[in-house]
Amino acid sequence: MQNNYKNKESKMEFCNQNKKKILRLAFFSMLSLILLITSGCSSGDDDFVLTHQGQFLDAPVRGLDYVCGGQSGVTDKDGMFTFERGKEITFKLGNIQIGDTVPVVSGLNAGEFLPDVWVFTPRMLIPDAKNRDPVVANILRFLQTLDNDYNFSDGIDNAANGIYLSDTVIKNAENFKGSLNFNLSEAEFEKAAESVVSSLTGEYRHLIPKLAAQHHFILQLINNQIDNALNHYESPGVTMSFETPCPCDPNDTECIESGVVDGVVSYDKSSHSYIWSFAAGYADIENKRPMTVDTRFRICSLTKSFVAMTILKLVESGKIKSYNDPIVDYLPASIKDTFKEFAAGNTITIAQVMNHSAGIPNFYRIPSPGNVQEGDGAWFLNLLFHPEMQWNVDKIIELVKTELNKGLEYPPSQGWGYSNTGYALLGIMLQNVTGKSWEQAIRDEIIEPYGLTDTIIPEIGKASITESINNINYYSPYDPMPTNKYAYGYLNLAGITEGMYGKDIVGLTKRDEQDPSFLNSAGSIIGTAPDLREWIKLIANTGNDDGMFGKTFDWLHDTSKYNELFFTLNASLKVGANVYHNVTDKRYIISGNSTGYDVNATYDVDNKIAIGACANRTFDAPESSDAVPDIWKFQGAHTIQIKDVLVFKTLDILTN
């Protein structure tokens, strides 16, 4: 009995121990699961502590000590370090703390994931700081002056090789007993920092100038954005050119020159501004021909702004009485009758056609399983698969009449719908008013007077962008350009047609040939990022000495003219003569996007920044509409544009 009891007792103890082990295992498993869920998803090789890779950038900085939760070490030559999300991180050089101790990625929005490498900048070490914050500038100047290949007399490079803190500097920093206050004024910090730099390097070094340090930093941030456009959005190449005001006194040559970066940032004395130039990737994937800042692109619908501005120039000169006149008054007889066949036709104004509120149907319709009708989308399919087709004026008139015969989509000014048909109609109007082709009218009114020498308008039959540029004398007063001045366009056919057409096509399709008459006055001009920068600047400075229009015809700032030309899309966005006005951020924006090309020109009013950007790729629409700002969700587009991928993010870097 006793033995049996002991055996039972032993068995019960064994079972209880196993139950406790199972319960403990279940508890810790559940705890791990809860921690994983509440912390968000992470990379597959994360351990229980959820560590992540980070990169410290001014340029990549090698040699900084860091501590974050249970992680510590020294940043490597690529600026890499390991951190624990949500924990505080401290960076030091020996005993010198760089900025504040701050939390790292304390929270993420729903559906948001950490990138493979989290980029960490000196700005993040100063709470609520901006990129040009004086304390951030002090940190930048200190680190850049300590760089192993410091030689400011030769100018600053673009930081491609990073900031390398030598073993000597690191060792001396460990033995350094003093401190360095980064919150000092510029003059006070220079005095204090140069003394510390001498102790760490063993030699006297002038501190890198403030403007040079800031430009060095901004270049790195923008290069990261360009890398994202090339890699994440799989663009073959991009170019970008923008202008920022120079903060120096015009007579302070030393200050001005400190902001110049060879090959990237130049100084323009006439405007007292800096011109920034970027180019990355390939203009031609097959031959690996590199992109350059003056590479030419088809600028697609940005053409419409040239048409609209030419019309406004004719209004200013009196050749067109008013943009409030019915457009039918300026059309040839061959198309007037079509307008008379529907009641509202005779009331549609030139302004309504220019701002897309006329109700005119759009011939650029992308077929999809939900909207295929007999004949619907035929123009688009021809564009994709028969790009050599030619559309002369008579054929364009018939295309426009076909669309008009469908009736208006809504009463004029009572709705909004982007219409290529409307701008083909405006091209016909230009020809009728001026007695010359719409192409020549734009050359005479815009391109030649304002010196846009890299902006060209190919004639019908010049399908190859190579041929267009090689035969430039055929249609332009400017000299021929080398054949390597153009970019081939690329697109994903499956993506742009929602997979209905070209499902089996893998990768990108080259679009080097397309007759310009396909888009005609709605989208056939060729241009460059620098010319787009100058173009938006001319428009945005309307009413000023640097603009296209005088104070007597300031349609952009005169309230009555503005209200007549601009249509309200939503609380933040209005559209005028094919120029979008973001009233919240105070920016004027023009975009162009078609088969294989994506371009943008934007002007930031408060910061006086003009920017032009081009990519030789039509980007697929993002799976999540969250990638597009709310104010741009009115079109239901199939693609995400370069303004969202690169331009707006670059402007955020420059203005924040």
Per-residue pLDDT tens digits for 316-365: 999 999 999 999 999 998 888 777 666 677 889 999 999 999 998 887 76
In 332-406, at which residue ranges do the beta strands (DSSP E only) sit? Answer: none
Q: Which pLDDT does position 296 carry in this prediction?
A: 92
Q: Whole-number mean pLDDT of the chain?
A: 80
At 300, is the secondary structure helix, strand, or coil?
helix
Per-residue pLDDT tens digits for 471-484: 443 333 333 344 56
Per-residue pLDDT tens digits for 253-267: 999 999 999 889 999
Residue 207 has pLDDT above 60, yes or no: yes
Q: What is the 3-state secondary structure (H, E, C) of 197-262?
A: HHHHHCCCCCCCCHHHHHHHHHHHHHHHHHHHHHHCCCCCEEEEEEEEECCCCCCCHHHHHHCCEC
* 539 alpha-carbon distance from chain centroid: 20
DSSP string, 111-150: T----SEEEE-GGGGSTT--TT-HHHHHHHHHHHHT-TT-
Per-residue pLDDT tens digits for 417-434: 998 889 989 999 999 999
For residues 645, 649, 651, 653, the Cα torsion angle rounded to the nearest 10 degrees is -150
Q: Which pLDDT does position 426 carry in this prediction?
A: 95
Q: Between residues 615 and 635, which one has the greater pLDDT?
A: 615
Residue 653 has pLDDT above 70, yes or no: yes
Its pTM stands at: 0.83
Residue in the block written with tokens 């016909």: 428
User: In Å, how far are 149, 226, 388, 560, 574 from 582, measured between CA atoms?
Assistant: 44, 24, 37, 18, 7
Mean pLDDT lowest among 198-202, 477-481, 484-488: 477-481
At 429, is the secondary structure helix, strand, or coil?
helix
Cβ atoms of residues 104 and 18 within 8 Å? no
Q: How confident is the model at residue 376 (pLDDT cuts 50, 70, 90)?
A: low
Q: How confident is the model at residue 617 (pLDDT cuts 50, 70, 90)?
A: confident
Cβ atoms of residues 242 and 610 within 8 Å? yes
Structure tokens at 17: 């121990």
Q: Which pLDDT does position 373 carry in this prediction?
A: 47
Return d(Cα 627, Cα 646) in angstroms, integer: 12
What backbone torsions phi and psi does residue 87 show, to the nearest 5 degrees?
-90, 160
Cβ atoms of residues 239 and 279 within 8 Å? yes
Choices 3.40.710.10, 3.40.1350.10, 3.90.550.10, 3.40.50.300: CATH for 297-655: 3.40.710.10
Per-residue pLDDT tens digits for 23-45: 443 433 333 333 333 333 333 33
Per-residue pLDDT tens digits for 153-192: 444 444 445 788 999 999 999 999 989 999 999 999 999 9
Instruction: Locate the domains of the chain by residue range.
Output: 46-208, 297-655
Q: Between residues 108 and 513, which one has the greater pLDDT?
A: 513
Return d(Cα 96, Cα 65) in angstroms, integer: 10
Residue type, 492: N
Contacts of 342 (CB under 8 A, 6+ apart): 404, 407, 408
At 497, is the secondary structure helix, strand, or coil?
coil
> CB neighbours (10 Å) of residue 175?
10
Q: How confident is the model at residue 595 (pLDDT cuts 50, 70, 90)?
A: confident
Residue 503 has pLDDT above 90, yes or no: no
Per-residue pLDDT tens digits for 543-574: 888 889 988 899 999 999 999 999 999 999 99
What counts of helices (H) and strands (E) characterise the chain?
19, 25
Segment 98-121 shows an average pLDDT of 76
Q: Which pLDDT does position 497 carry in this prediction?
A: 53
Q: Which pLDDT does position 107 carry in this prediction?
A: 60
DSSP string, 1-40: -HHHHHHHHHHHHHHHHHHHHHHHHHHHHHHHHHHHHHH-
Segment 105-133 shows an average pLDDT of 78
Which of 349, 592, 619, 353 has its CA nearest to residue 491? 619
Which of 508, 525, 408, 391 has its CA nearest to residue 455? 525
Q: How confident is the model at residue 580 (pLDDT cuts 50, 70, 90)?
A: very high
Q: How confident is the model at residue 643 (pLDDT cuts 50, 70, 90)?
A: confident
Cβ atoms of residues 200 and 175 within 8 Å? no
Residue 440 has pLDDT above 60, yes or no: yes
